[in-house]
Structures are given as structure tokens and as C-alpha cells.
Amino acid sequence: MAISVTWPQVLAWRLKRQFVDPAAGEDAVSVIRRLTGVQAQVASSAELAVAVRRAEPRRGEIDRALWQERTLVKTWTARGTLHLVPSDELSCYAAVLGSFRHWEKGSWQRGHGVTAAEVAAILDAVPRALAGRTLTREELVEAVIEAAGDEHLREALTSGWGALLKPLSFLGELCYGRPREGRVTFAAPRDQVPGWPAAPPTAEEGGLVLVRSFLGAHGPGAPETFDAWLYRGAARKATLRGWFRDLAPELAEVEVEGRPMVLLAEHLDDLVATEPAAGVHLLPGFDQYILGAPRDLEPLLPKEARAKVSRAAGWISPVVIHGGRVAGVWEAKNGEITLDLFEDVPAAPLKAETERVAALLGSREVSG
């Protein structure tokens, strides 16, 4: 029989697992690994997501991990968005996301203004262009056009948010390189990532790694919640069921207020013993605490507040968390934090947390 737990328990447990309450992350890589990646299209939000989870944030630690130690890598992963992920896990993302192959669908090609032959030419040219070197976007575009002999690709490759480069990222053929004079560069993971595997994991192997990681931060969960987080429902249902079936010996069944879900069995006792949270926390935009949960999870995000949190063009607002629940949103302007609360929040802990985050924003420990 499944053990019953409440949503306040689950949310408190997630805050603890995600190094929010308490802020106990050991270093940037540990935090990002625990969170199953950190969304990074807004660099300052990614930096703050790590800093608020560290008792003593260190200046420049993300850049050091990316470009000197190379223990982090920046590229497009979950939901096709830019992420920071541990370097030794990138091949698992590539194994899974590369198996979707949505760029082979005519609807995707028409939506991006390219033909199947042009997609094939890009997939062939980019790995050869990046072999042993890093290139700016402009340099990469020129190299692809020269190799493919197709000037039409210029417009497609330079418009949008890198849509035609994302399949290369999903296939493990492209990631961000060290910026050059403030400009983005791209590199091949086999050159950028130490220990890049000669034989990549299978989609089945990679899927198990990602499901296990997801449940460790965002559990309890179910195939559909993992699927929504990974790529908005793009995984084949049989594949999803296979990952969860193969992990079954490691899983425990729970009921969260009547809803059947699973989590890693090693975490069951901790979840059951967790008391509802009472703390107040300010989390940045695009935070994994929000992104790892369904948008319609009422115990986390009240229905009347969704439009303020999940905004136009996929923008996710910075949030105020009280008792594990979204109680407001916030923004920083001219060094000051402005709050927009839609639930009562205790004044003293709110003031202390606001001052803590304002200090992080105003110091050189994190930027943005």
C-alpha cells in the first residue's frame, strides 16, 4: 500500500532537496547537479539561482566551472532552453534529446523555413566546422554556408534564438565555448568536455539517469510530470513507461493527497518525516523550483496568480515563496527590490530575506 503524504510536506521536502531551505549547496556544480540543471538564457537569474542556495556564494564560480575547470557546460537541453548542466551529465541529455529527432518532421522544417536537405546539410557541416576549434555564431554561419553551398541558410541560421542549432546540441555536437571579446562562441562537446565518452550512452541509459536526477529534486513525480519538464510532452509514451518500469526496483509509491506518484525509495523516510515549511524565500526568474513542477499545481501556484508568474513569451517571474507556496512576485530596479504579494507573508522573515537577496544582487558575488 502506498504511503500518503500532503502537498505541504512535498513542497517542504523539495525546498530542502533543492538547497533552498536551508541554503546548503556546497558549490555551484553541486547545486546545478541537484537541480537537474539551471535554466540560463538570463545569465543573472542563473547566477542568483545558485547564489541563494549557497551559504557563502563565491564570485565568478560559475565562469570558473565553465571555462577553466570545465565541470559545467552551457547549451540547449530541457524544453529546448539554454541550461547549465554538469559536464559529466551532458552525454545523457544528448542521448535522450537526440532520440526525439523532431527536426525530421515536415512541420518543424516548414516552421523554420528549411528543407529536409538543408537540415541534413547543417547537421553534417557544423561538426566538421567545429572540429578542434571554437567559432562565433557569425563564423559558424559562414563555415556552414561554405560547406553546404547554400546562401539561403544564412537567414535561417541568424534569425530566432538558435533554433537551427538546437538539434546539434541535442545530438551532442554543439555547446557554448568560452566567450571571445564579449561574443558568444560555440564548440564541440568532444573538445570542450573532459572525458567526453567515445561511446555515448543509449537513450535508455540516459533516460534512467535523468529520471533519477529529476525525482531526487522534483519528486515525487510521474511519467507525465517528468515528460512535461523534459520537453513538454515530446517523449514517446512507451519510452517513458520503459524508463519508469526499469527504475521500479529503486522507486517507492506514494499518494500525494490521493494522487499516485513515485519517488526514489531512499528518500521515502525523509519525505514522510518532513514537516510543512514556514520559511520565506525569494527565488529568481526561471527558477527550477517553479520549472520542475506542473504549471497547474495549485498547492504551489494559486490559479489567480499564474498570469503574474508565467508571463508572455515564456517569461517566468522571480517569486516570493512562503510555506513552500508562491505568495508573490518581485523585481529589482535601481538596486531596490519591489514586492507584489498576493498572500500574507510574515513581515520579519520577509524583510530579512529581501535584504539577503538585495545584498547578493548588489555585491560582486553575483551579477544582475
Distance CA 117, CA 69 (A): 38
Nine cell digits for residue 61: 564560480
Strands (E), 42-163: 72-76, 82-86, 135-136
Nine cell digits for residue 212: 533519477
Distance CA 279, CA 291 (A): 20
pLDDT above 70 as % of the chain: 98
> Is residue 32's pLDDT more than 80?
yes
Stronger pLDDT, 152 or 266, i.e. the higher one: 266
Give kind and range of the element (H or E) at residue 231: helix 223-231
Range 157-174 average pLDDT: 89
Residue pLDDT, tens place only, 3-25:
999 999 999 999 999 999 999 99
Range 77-105 average pLDDT: 97
Distances (CA, A) of 328 to 248, 332, 353, 356: 38, 14, 14, 17
Range 276-296 average pLDDT: 97
Give the pLDDT of residue 160: 67
Residue by residue, what is the 3-state secondary structure of 149-214? CCCCHHHHHHCCCCCCCHHHHHCCCCEEEEEECCEEEEECHHHHCCCCCCCCCCHHHHHHHHHHHH
| 365 band by pLDDT with thresholds 50, 70 and 90 | very low
Instruction: State pTM to two decimals.
Output: 0.95
> Is residue 158's pLDDT more than 90?
no
> Is residue 363's pLDDT more than 90?
no
- Contact yes or no for 366/57 (Cβ under 8 A): yes
Residue pLDDT, tens place only, 228-250:
999 988 899 999 999 999 999 99
Range 151-175 average pLDDT: 89
> Is residue 80's pLDDT more than 80?
yes
Q: Which residues of 293-310 are buried (b: 16+ CB within 10 A; e: fewer)?
A: beeeeebbbeeebeebbe
Pairing type for strands 82-86 and 38-39 reads antiparallel
Mean pLDDT of the chain: 95
> Is residue 81's pLDDT more than 90?
yes
How far is C-alpha 19 from the geometric centre of its chain's CA atoms?
15
Range 291-318 average pLDDT: 94
Residue corresponding to grid cell 545523457: 92
Q: Is 328 helix (H, G, I), strand (E, B) or coil?
A: strand
Residue pLDDT, tens place only, 200-223:
999 999 999 999 999 999 999 999
Distance CA 73, CA 37 (A): 10
> Is residue 366's pLDDT more than 70?
no
Range 267-278 average pLDDT: 98
Give the pLDDT of residue 364: 47
Q: Residue 309: CA atoms inside 13 Å, Cβ hemisphere, count?
A: 30
